[in-house]
Structure 1
Amino acid sequence: MIGSVVIRWASVLLATVFGPYHPAEGGCSGQCCPGKDLTCSSLDWRSDRVYTTCYCDESCVRSKDCCFDYPTECTAQPCVVSEWTHWSGCARPCQPSYRVRRRSIEIKPQNSGQACPALEERAGCMEYQDYEGQSCGHSQGPALITTMEYSNGRIAHVVYGTPVDSGFCMEFKVESLSRHCMVENKPHTRWMQYLREGFVVCVSCQPPAISNRSHTCNGDGQSANRDTILQWQAVGNPRCRGTWKKVQKLQHCSCPSVHSFIFI
């Protein structure tokens, strides 16, 4: 017992004077193991400066028992993913639906490197042509809205003939909304959290949602007076819905991005 204590203190003294002593087979040299592997170990200095059994598996970072040279011998490789694909078309035409974009893993994470992000995103959408290319027409009901970001990848094909209407912007004051808008936290529905009672929002009416015959979008409220309560519904979560009143019609939207939406 006394002998082991003397040896331990001698090791500490030598490390203090001459630096840590590492046997040839110690540390993580030549062994970097995925996941949790209790056999992936050495007798050497840990990163917390304790000379004992240390590990070279990925889980040692969380358990804080890595060998001192784990960061240099087992260099962390973060996940590397490709660029997003283009947005797909809507899953179903002539009704509120969703579109998809994907990316793939190019380099898998290693040695506790940063994990891969989501490889698929979905966003609400609506197509105004069926699979045969025929116009679906405008449905009656609440205004269907989604984030303005949807316009970046929107297919602006001509549905109602030429010339194509350049569109306009409607401002509304939100009167009410359901609680389901506040709990959305998925990437493609997070924009719903910015809908608030009493806030003024901008909603753009653009092709192909706009009709070249009537120069309107479904539910845009152009013909309504300022006291009329109008209905709206978020695409991507049909339970996120509410009411608003028209403020004014503008040529272009000027609201902050989080309060800018688009009719679909």
Structure 2
Amino acid sequence: MICGGVRRGRDTETIATVEKHGWCSLLVPGTVDFAYTVGLWHSFQIPEIVMFGLAGEHMQLWLNTCVERLRDIGWPAAEAPFTGVIEGHETMLRPVDESWRAALFGTAYRFYGGWSVPVWQLVWPDGAGRWPWNDEATVSSRTRQAFGWLPVSAHPAGSWRLVGTFGNDFPLPAEPDSWALTTRSLLAGRTSPAVVAFDDGRFDVLDARGYAADDLCLAYLGHAVEQHPSLNALSDLPTGHVATLATDGTWQRTPSSDPQRTESTAAWRTSQPLRVTS
């Protein structure tokens, strides 16, 4: 059997559910949640299914409904709409490119002992029935779903491409698609990081102007790391601390001060998100 050599431990509950029901629907919480099945290939020789961008527990239920529906009607052709999963809406399945496997499907990878099994994406339309590749579809339906049928390198710029690019190798103790306070100049490479604060799960990545910069914005943390690999050195920055770049190029770490926290809070309240589109 494919999963005969799977060790229990961290995946004990998943394995037990597959043994009892034939598959398990896993929720992966993050900046944007996704959920996927484990066990379909093992139990029924059909691809695993992943779904992105809706309420986590609902996605788990819809995945289960999808499996039951497909066992009734058979596996559809790619991009063939079908009903019976989300009430009042069609859905469709598209095969997921192999380049997403390492970033998204760690539990499945362990379950199958490193074997590469097929995964298809359950795609949902917006409220008007428009699919996410339609330019007229709502922004949320186009950005909350990964375009998993594309290679990571060909995915539109944004949060999911960052997740696919970094996978489990993101150097900082946050998600690559989490918001960070930074500056437009720093993201464009015109300035360099000089002050980095980490507190309450969020990062401030600032240049020498600090909170006085006139181009403060909110952006995906992964974009700052892509532009400035020097940030990799801050993988061990403790929460509640600030790192300041010294003249010798090293980062000096000190506890956050009350004035710094006050400035940070004010800047987060007034800064606007920057949407990267290329």
Shorter-chain TM-score bucket reads: under 0.3
Rg (Cα) greater in structure:
1
TM-score normalized by the length of structure 2: 0.23
Q: Give the number of the structure with larger relative contact order, counting CA–CA contacts within 8 Å between residues 6 or more apart.
A: 1
TM-score normalised by the chain length of structure 1: 0.24
More strand by share: 1
